[in-house]
Amino acid sequence: MDRILQELFPSVAASKDVVPPSLDPATGVQSKDVEIASEINLSARIYLPPNADPTKKLPLLVYYHGGGFIVESAFSPLYHKHVNHLVAQANVVAVSVNYRLAPEFPLPIAFEDSWRALKWIAEGEEEWINEFADLKRVYLGGDSAGGNTAHNIAMRVGSENPEGFKLEGIFLNCPAFGGVDPIGRETAEEFKKWLDFSEKLWGFVCPSLRDRDEGWVNPGKDPKISGLGCGRVLVYVAEKDFLKDRGWYYNEVLSNCGWKGEIECVEVAGEDHVFSVFGPDTQVGIDTIKKVASFINQ
């Protein structure tokens, strides 16, 4: 499993590395770390774009990092660079949530941490959020496992209708969804190892999982999917990604379930899993981030 994990998440070897918050010379974005709940070691990194003006409130992006729920952090070099570029391009205030990881903290702990962070944001007591962010224009985003988290937190927004903010939309970058029955290319023999890995990974991060058709893993099997708590969704999939068909399936399900919002699914040719996270300053990464920025500021 370690070998396959390394193939799927090339950054795993450096996943414990962290970088401090800073004024990023490449983008002009400032960042700082905040403590949300010290008793459970829940924290986040907040980002402020250049020339932020308290008289012109900006959209707020809550970001959930990827890594299969078991590696990476909001403070890793990979995600610090990615979110810096995203914040600069989209001109948003961002909160990158450092949720706890499996197997020490199995799912649904990551979801509970992510929900608690969102409720903490809604309280409006943090200085940068209170001064610069418009809580009536909140977006959730994430890649891979973080995309799964963004979806599931939006489902909870829809069911609980919390006060203090308005969730406008979510963007999911190569979201990590699954299911018992193979779909699309998953039926091909060449993808068998990935199916085997997926089954093992879901059981590893959530030992209490009944099967991969639980709604939080497979939105297509969620009877409450039409209650997604936002009006706009952007999904990115990559041509070479094993998870590509799950992203398209999500698009199909959400388009036909009775949900009243708008969804767009974009496939990027020649790229693999979370390509824009690994290369936010490459041309394809820049183009993707510009599309996300346009989505947020539409």
Catalytic residue flag (residue 276):
no
Catalytic residue among 73, 114, 144, 276: 144
Catalytic residue among 85, 113, 273, 276: 273
Catalytic residue flag (residue 144):
yes
Q: What is the DSSP string of the chain?
A: -HHHHHHH-GGGGGTT------B-TTT--EEEEEEEEGGGTEEEEEEE-TT--TTS-EEEEEEE--STTTS--TTSHHHHHHHHHHHHHHT-EEEEEE---TTTS-TTHHHHHHHHHHHHHHTT-SHHHHHHEEEEEEEEEEETHHHHHHHHHHHHHHHH--SS--EEEEEEES-----SS--GGGGSGGGHHHHHHHHHHHHHH-TT---TTSTTT-GGG-TTGGG-S-SEEEEEEETT-TTHHHHHHHHHHHHHSS--SEEEEEEETT--TTHHHH-TTSHHHHHHHHHHHHHHH-
Catalytic residue flag (residue 226):
no
Catalytic residue among 113, 222, 241, 245: 241
Q: Which residues are catalytic?
A: 144, 241, 273
